[in-house]
Amino acid sequence: MTTITLRLGLIACGLLSVTACSRSEPKETGPVALHAGVVEDGRRAFGQCRSCHAIEAGVNRVGPSLHAVVGRKAGGVPGYSYSKAMAASGLVWTEEALESYLENPRTHVPGTKMSFAGIDDAQRRKDVVAYLKTLS
């Protein structure tokens, strides 16, 4: 190895060391939603649901109240007239069940009264469910 090659190699190593030492950890710039839902995004996405669903306990509209829906048995809101299909579904509204239902309600529970076509975007469904979890 020549002296020039050796010197260039040492300079390169030194520069890499200085660069590596001077790097700071990346800063978080806001909520990151890779797998979990983001409540604020879900609250905004829920806007399309408000025309049929209330979030207050005991307030039913075209659809039943979604207050405390996570963990509740499907067809269990007093005073709401459910379709036979929903009443007989045996569903419990877990996070997973809600996400699946929100993808395509009529496929998930054939015969449901819910005419909503569904939410195609998986992250958006997770966001809505994250918001629904806060309603208790």
Q: Quick one: pLDDT at residue 51?
A: 95
**pLDDT top residue among 40 and 1:** 40
Q: Which residue type does 100 have?
A: S
Q: Quick one: pLDDT at residue 1?
A: 52
Classify residue 73 by its DSSP letter.
B
CB 114 within 8 A of CB 91: no
The tokens 């950890």 sit on which residue?
25
Q: Mean of the per-residue pLDDT values for the chain?
A: 83
Is CATH 1.10.760.10 correct for 36-132? yes
Q: Where are the domains of the chain?
A: 36-132
* Percent of the chain topping pLDDT 70: 74
**Burial 44-74, CB ≥16 within 10 A → b, else e:** ebbeebeeebbbeeeebeebbbbbebbebeb
User: Cα–Cα distance between 92 and 60 in angstroms, integer?
Assistant: 19
- What is the average per-residue pLDDT within 47-75? 97
Q: Which residue type does 118 have?
A: G
Whether the predicted pLDDT of 118 surpasses 70: yes
Residues 15-57: pLDDT tens digits?
444 434 444 444 444 454 445 899 999 999 999 999 999 999 9
